[in-house]
Amino acid sequence: MYKPNDLILRTTTSLIAFILLGFAIYLLLAGHNSPGGGFVGGLMTASAFVLMYMSYGIETVKKILPINFRTLIPIGLLIAVVTGVGSFAFNEPFLSHTFGYFTFPLFGEIELATAMLFDIGVYVTVLGVTMTIILTIANDQ
């Protein structure tokens, strides 16, 4: 029986997927001041995962990434909604956001905004939705 040898694909995947994941995190964090944000970051992460699924097969990747992508959708939604509802505690209108400057060792002074939390919610939801769609179609017999 013919058995394909995809050594080149697998070797490059392990490198490229790593770069893609790093780039996705960069996009997520950069969204406030330059192009990027939760949506494209989530899509980029999903594309890294899809690349891994394509070159290593579903069984192997499931062992490396034991995540149920379907539950990521409500988790992401919950993060986003709670960020909006959080403003209730400070007696501010729904979805009010704030920011502050914090000094960290090594990084120095960094601006942290609560809009980032909302973006993380979007990121998780987009990742969950994309992976659920792709894996559901891929698993179809």
Task: Give the interface with another protein as residue ranges (CB under 8 A).
Answer: 71, 73-74, 77-78, 81, 84-85, 88, 91-97
Q: Which is nearer to another protein, 53 or 123 (CB)?
A: 123
Count other C-beta atoms under 10 Å from residue 11's C-beta: 11
Q: Which is nearer to another protein, 33 or 91 (CB)?
A: 91
d(C-alpha 141, C-alpha 127), whole Å? 24
Min dist CB 96 to another protein, Å, is 5
Min dist CB 62 to another protein, Å, is 20
Q: What angle do CA 11, 123, 121 make, to 5 degrees?
A: 145
- Residue 101 phi/psi, 5-degree rounding, is -105, 130
Strand partners, 113: 99
Q: Which is nearer to another protein, 78 or 138 (CB)?
A: 78
Min dist CB 99 to another protein, Å, is 13
Min dist CB 75 to another protein, Å, is 8
d(C-alpha 138, C-alpha 29), whole Å? 31
Supply 135's token pair: 């894996």
Q: Which is nearer to another protein, 103 or 139 (CB)?
A: 139
Q: Which is nearer to another protein, 31 or 76 (CB)?
A: 76
Min dist CB 95 to another protein, Å, is 4
* 108-113/99-104 β-pairing: antiparallel
Q: What is the CA radius of gyration of the chain?
A: 18
